[in-house]
Structures are given as structure tokens and as C-alpha cells.
Amino acid sequence: MSAEATNPEAAPTDVAVRRRGRARIDLRRLGRAALLNATAGPAPRDRLPDAIGHVAEAHRAHHPEADLTVLGRAYVLAESSHRGQFRKSGEPYITHPLAVTLILAELGAETTTLTASLLHDTVEDTEVTLDQVRREFGDEVAYLVDGVTKVEKIDYGAAAEPETFRKMLVATGSDVRVMSIKLADRLHNMRTLGVMRPEKQARIAKVTRDVLIPLAERLGVQALKTELEDLVFAILHPEEYETTRALIADNPGAADELGAVAEQVTAVLREAGIGAEVLVRPRHFVSVHRVRLKRGELRGCDFGRLLVLVAEDADCYAVLGELHTCFTPVISEFKDFIAAPKFNLYQSLHTAIAAPDGAVAEVLIRTHRMHKVAEAGVVALGNPHVGQEPDGSLQGSDDGERVDPTRPGWLSRLLDWQQSAPDPDTFWTSLRADLAEDDEITVFRADGSTPGTISLPVGASCVDAAYAQHGEAAHACLGARVNGRLAPLSTVLGDGDTVQLLLAQDTVSGPSPEWLDHARTPAARIAITGWLQAHPESAAPPAAPTDPRPQPSVPADRRPGAELHADLDGEPPAVVRPAGCCTPVPPDEITGFRVRGGSVTVHRTRCSAVDAMRGLGREPVTVRWGDTAQGRVTLLAESFGRPGLLADLTEAIAACGAAVVSANVEPPSEQRVRHTYTLHLPDVAGLAALMKAMRDVPGVYDVSRAHHTRGLG
């Protein structure tokens, strides 16, 4: 199957050089074979119908031991049910399922996928029922056929297309072969789109661009993705397409220039004793267009890349070492997707080398297995209901569980959020936005729960992580610790970050409208929007102090603190009071200093003011605690802002028997609020219990003793 595109309205001579040697099958020839089969009756039991011979040949190339009997039965049912139907291009309709099946066969799809592909339009367009397919071909084939069958337009009206894609995606969540068939189906339809009206071509091309191409990229089916890109490029950007096509046609020697570099690379690897196959891969049209925009004027080597195929993973790095030793490497072009595979299963080493004549060639280095997965993605992985042994043979899992490496994080996220988007327009808009993300990151959960990782799109914030981990329970999220440090919910996460989400215990808390500014994933945006619509009062800005100066909410009183005594070597007794910067209480270690007026101020020994006093030459005064158990202390409470937090804190303080002398609340900053309380304790022995009670208030993440910097008198 070709990965190069043609203009849908162009003549066959306009076809660019193809990646594979197999020529595209002539649909008219397939149509004639189908009509001959229809008039000649069924083929003998010991051989396949002529029209499916090309499929059988391609299938056996990947699966030599495959049983082709079921393909013959599927073709007979498909041909007989579609008999008399014609495509708008004039060919018998059976040529479409044949072409779709051939695309998948050339990618290496297994027999069940090809069987379903032959039958994929029968339930939708003929009298064949799903039960009939199930009886004759089994549950798996029936599931795949049902997954790609469109919903009835008479039932869904304008929502039929979004709901059809929703149905396919849900089915893909259980079996990715559903989307493989859909992608091949769309590719063949795009190849023959030239018979449609221009406006319909544009509409189909836009959906292909926004939905199908990103899905092909995420499923790793590069062979389908690149040709779909070129076909969309030709329809939506005809002028740029023609410019690119002419540019390729005007540089017929590009392959020769790359071929010369390939010969040099082959010689170097042969001398090093590394068995490798070096191929020249022409770029497809969109790739050439992108390189032209990036580099301006193109040289011969810019029209393609070298592909080096080896047997083992270690050989990839051996090739890389030889290339970087014998040629001048372009270090900025080096990428290691073997040690860190892409989220769509893609693995390769990418580099670029400068040949002695100055030509720079990009090089892809991969094993044959990596190449198969890079081209065919999930199609190459076969049946997701069985595991794969290291030697490539398939074997079922012992516990009956589905072993499916093709269920990546992006698909799980998509399946989760689509349940919260019952409105087709919301689903359709969110789907396109979700698929527009080009890459994803993995963050680790700090709570040790399973699974231990969360997959998110690049640019996701703590808000997205909260909804990915906790669903609607994330409405009560107050903040997060990122890599062990407190961080606001707006923090953008990086690949490999460790995240701990902090949730309130009450059910009153909810998201603020500002969360939408930091939400990248549809799951988060849909959940936040739904909560805000259900709680319109929360959309109003929260009441917060507008004066940046501290606002005392409780006036100071004159209740005495703990009893303090100072030893002044026979001098008259002085007023001894605790310092306001650190508010010592028994049994803190304390140090006193004389201040203006002859009084003594008492600090905690570790207070920074003690070192400052000594630096000024002040002599410390011996002080000690008296017998009184009461005391006064200043506490700082660090919290995430939420409604009712101040009331909950003062209630917790009162429950511990402490009295509020004064309280200051600073204006919120990045969703965090600092409270300063000066409290009178009837018994300072209860300080630890008081601080714990304050920390237990939802939204409070730290309570500490105050340590202000004040004038030293």
C-alpha cells in the first residue's frame, strides 16, 4: 500500500514514487473480476474467488500459515449482498471492501480483521444482519463489524456523525482493530473522493484532518496517516500541493544524491561488521512542504531520508556510533525514541550526518520489528486479546485477561471524558480539541496507589491531573504537591513529575471559574463547566480583603500571658514580656534582652532576633518561666482559599479552649491564603493539640509558630 498521495483529480501518471514495490490495484480490474464471479457462480471449494486473490497474496506474505477459507466465505457473502450496488465512481460496490481489505492485508493485519473488513458495510448497506454475521463468523467479527457501522441518520439527525465516531471510539476501547478498519475505509474513500462535489470533498477532508489523521498518529499507523495527510493537503490546500508536487518533479536527481550517501553508509557499516539494510525513503508531499517552510531552499537530500534496518536493539546504537564516528553528526537532530518510545509505540533513533561533499542526510535507525510497528502501528500487533511472545509468536494470556499494549493513556482519557459529554456538539468539539494535542507526558502519583502513573497531554496542569485521577471528586481539590513542594493548581506539569493532589474532606468545596483557564483536558473542562452551571453562585468572585494591609478581625485584649521572671543581679524588678516576633510559651527555651524603658523582652532561643541582639552587643538576661500554665502564642496557618475556611478555623480554635486575641487574613495569592492568629491558651500544654486541630481543617496544609522580623528597640 502506498504512503504517498495523489491529487484526487489527477491522472494516474501524477502518482509520486511509492515506498513499496507493490503497485496500487486497479479497481476497474477488481470490478470486472467481481462481475465475472457474480455471473460464473461461486468458486470451487478448493480455491478462492479470483477477485480476492490479491488480498490472499498480501495476507500470506505476512501470515504464511493463515487459513484463507474464512476469507473466501466472507467475500462470497459480501459480494452477493452488495451485488447490484455501485459506487459513485462507477465501480461495483464490492471493490470498496476489497480495496479496504487489501490495505489492511498489506499492513499485516490478521485474518479476523480482514474478515470483518470484507463485511464492514454489509450490515449498514445491505439486508445482512449483525446476528447473521455473528452466526457465520463468530463474536469477534460481529463486534468489529458493529463497531464500524454508522448509527442511523433517521434516529440522530445532524448528530449522526459525532455519535458514529463516539460509538467507534467506545468500541475501539475494547478492540483497536475497529479503528484500524475505519482508517483503511477512510483512506480508500479519500483516494476516490474526486467524484464528489468540491464542497463535500472539503467537508470530508476537514473531518479526516481533525479526527482521523490524529487517530492514525496515536495508533501508530504511519503508512495510513501519511497518505491521508497528502490527500487532505491536495483538497484543502491545492495551490501549496501543486507547488510541492512541482518541486518534487523538478528534482528527479534527489534520489540519486541520497543513494550516494546510502552507499557510503553501507560501506561504513559493512567494514564495521554490522549487518544492516540501508534504504532511501522519499518524503511524502506534506513532509516536503514542512521541510521547505522550515529550511527555505531545498537540496537533494532534503527530499528523503535514509532508513537503516538492523536485527537487534543493540545494533541500532552500534550503527549510531559508526555514523557519528565516520561522518560529521548534526547533534541538534539526534533523538532517541528507543530508550523513550513515543506514546504511539513508535521506536527509532533519529540523527543527521554530513557527507564529505557537505550534503546533510537525515537517518532513521531501527530494527525490522520496530519498522513494522512504525509503519503499521496497532495493525501490526494483531489480535489484542492475546499476548505476544518475545519471538513474535502469539499466545493467549493464562488468566483470560485481555493483554492490550494498544490501550494508551490518551484512549483511556478519551473514553472517560466522553461519558460526561452527552451533548453531541460538546463531544465533537472536545474530541477535536483533544486530538489536536501532539504529544503527552507521564506523571507519577505520590500516594503509591495503582496505577502509579497518569498520562496527560503536554501543557496539562495540576487541575488536569486532579480530574484524571479523581474524576468529579476533584471538585474538592485544594492544591497539590509537585515533586514534594506545594504548588498552585495552575502549575503546568512536566514529563516525570511526581504529583500529590490535596483534597478537602467536605462536600461544599468546588472549582472556581479560574480553573478553566488552566484546564487542558476535555475531562477537566467538562467536569468544571458542569459544576459551575449547577452552582451559579460560585461564578461570583469570592469575598476577599481588597486592602493589602492586614485586617484585624478581633481586637486585642489585655489578658495576661504565661508568668515570666528575669534575674537582674539585684536591680529593681522590671516588666518582663514575651516578644511578639516569636511569642514564646512554656516549655520553650528562652533568652531575654533589655529594651528601651528598662523592660525585658523574652525570645525563643532559636529566634533570629537573638542573634541580631547579640550582634548589636546586647547582653542576654537570664529569664525563666513561672508557675502559671496559661500563655499567648501567634500561629501562622497556610491554606488554600475556599468558602467558609475562616469560620472553620475559628471553630477549631474555640473547640480547643483557646481565645482569639487578634486575627489577620492576607489577600489570596495563587489560590493560597495566609492567616495569622494571636491566641490566648488557658494551658500552653495544649498547644500541640491545637496546631493539629487547625491542620485537620480542610484546606489547611500547614500551621506553624510565628516568626516575624521586627524592630529591635
User: With helix as H, strand as E and coil as C, how does 516-558 read?
Assistant: HHCCCCHHHHHHHHHHHHHCHHHHCCCCCCCCCCCCCCCCCCC
The model's confidence at residue 459, banded by pLDDT at 50, 70 and 90, is confident
The model's confidence at residue 18, banded by pLDDT at 50, 70 and 90, is very low
pLDDT at position 23 is 42
- State the DSSP H helix or E strand holding residue 321, giving kind and residue range, or none if neither: helix 313-326
Would you list the DSSP string of 364-420?
EEEEHHHHHHHHHGGGGG--TTSEE-TTS-EE--TTS----TT--HHHHHHHHHHTT
pLDDT at position 378 is 83
The model's confidence at residue 340, banded by pLDDT at 50, 70 and 90, is confident
The model's confidence at residue 572, banded by pLDDT at 50, 70 and 90, is low
pLDDT at position 359 is 75
For residue 78, pLDDT beyond 90: yes
pLDDT at position 440 is 77
The model's confidence at residue 639, banded by pLDDT at 50, 70 and 90, is confident
CA separation for the pair 394, 414 (Å, rounded): 28
| Residue 218: alpha-carbon gap to chain centroid | 10
Provide the mean pLDDT of the chain. 79
For residue 310, pLDDT beyond 90: yes
The model's confidence at residue 206, banded by pLDDT at 50, 70 and 90, is very high
Active-site pick, 9, 50, 125, 437: 125
- State the DSSP H helix or E strand holding residue 189, giving kind and residue range, or none if neither: helix 177-191
The question of whether 125 is a catalytic residue gets the answer yes
Contact (Cβ atoms closer than 8 angstroms) between residue 328 and residue 354: yes
For residue 566, pLDDT beyond 80: no
Nearest to 346 by CA among 357, 355, 338: 338
The model's confidence at residue 456, banded by pLDDT at 50, 70 and 90, is confident
Residue 577 three-state SS: strand
For residue 517, pLDDT beyond 50: yes
Provide the β-strand partners of residue 565.
624
**Stronger pLDDT, 81 or 45, i.e. the higher one:** 81
Q: Is the dihedral of CA 128, 130, 135, 138 positive or negative?
A: positive
Residue 404: how many CA atoms within 13 Å on its side-chain side?
A: 21
Lowest mean pLDDT: which of 11-20, 54-63, 380-389, 619-628?
Answer: 11-20
Nearest to 361 by CA among 259, 288, 285, 271: 259
Active-site pick, 9, 57, 106, 124: 124
| Residue 664: alpha-carbon gap to chain centroid | 43
Cell of 206: 476537514
The model's confidence at residue 273, banded by pLDDT at 50, 70 and 90, is very high
Provide the β-strand partners of residue 664.
676
Pick from 23-37, 46-60, 82-96 the range whose average pLDDT is largest.
82-96
pLDDT at position 535 is 75
- Per-residue pLDDT averaged across 187-202, rounded? 91
How far is residue 483 from each of residues 195, 496, 553, 671, measured CA to CA in Å? 57, 9, 36, 19
Nearest to 659 by CA among 532, 507, 555, 525: 555
**Stronger pLDDT, 700 or 205, i.e. the higher one:** 205
- State the DSSP H helix or E strand holding residue 319, giving kind and residue range, or none if neither: helix 313-326
CA separation for the pair 644, 504 (Å, rounded): 12
Convert the pLDDT of each residue in 46-74 to its tens digit: 455 667 888 999 999 999 988 899 999 99
* Backbone conformation region of residue 255, classed left if phi is above 0, alpha if psi is from -120 to 50, else beta: alpha
Nearest to 33 by CA among 18, 47, 15, 53: 53
End-to-end CA distance of the chain: give it in Å, rounded: 86
The percent of residues above 90 in pLDDT, for the chain, comes to 29
Convert the pLDDT of each residue in 135-153 to its tens digit: 999 999 999 999 999 887 6
Helices 95-107 and 69-82 pack at an angle, to 10 degrees, of 150
- Per-residue pLDDT averaged across 348-356, rounded? 88
The question of whether 416 is a catalytic residue gets the answer no
Lowest mean pLDDT: which of 196-210, 232-246, 404-418, 670-684?
Answer: 404-418
pLDDT at position 285 is 92
For residue 34, pLDDT beyond 70: no
How far is residue 32 from each of residues 29, 72, 76, 270, 685, measured CA to CA in Å? 5, 18, 15, 49, 97
Q: What is the pTM of this model?
A: 0.67
**Stronger pLDDT, 20 or 342, i.e. the higher one:** 342
For residue 542, pLDDT beyond 50: no
* Backbone conformation region of residue 569, classed left if phi is above 0, alpha if psi is from -120 to 50, else beta: left
pLDDT at position 438 is 67
**Stronger pLDDT, 134 or 653, i.e. the higher one:** 134
Residue type, 150: K
Lowest mean pLDDT: which of 287-301, 354-368, 405-419, 635-649?
Answer: 405-419
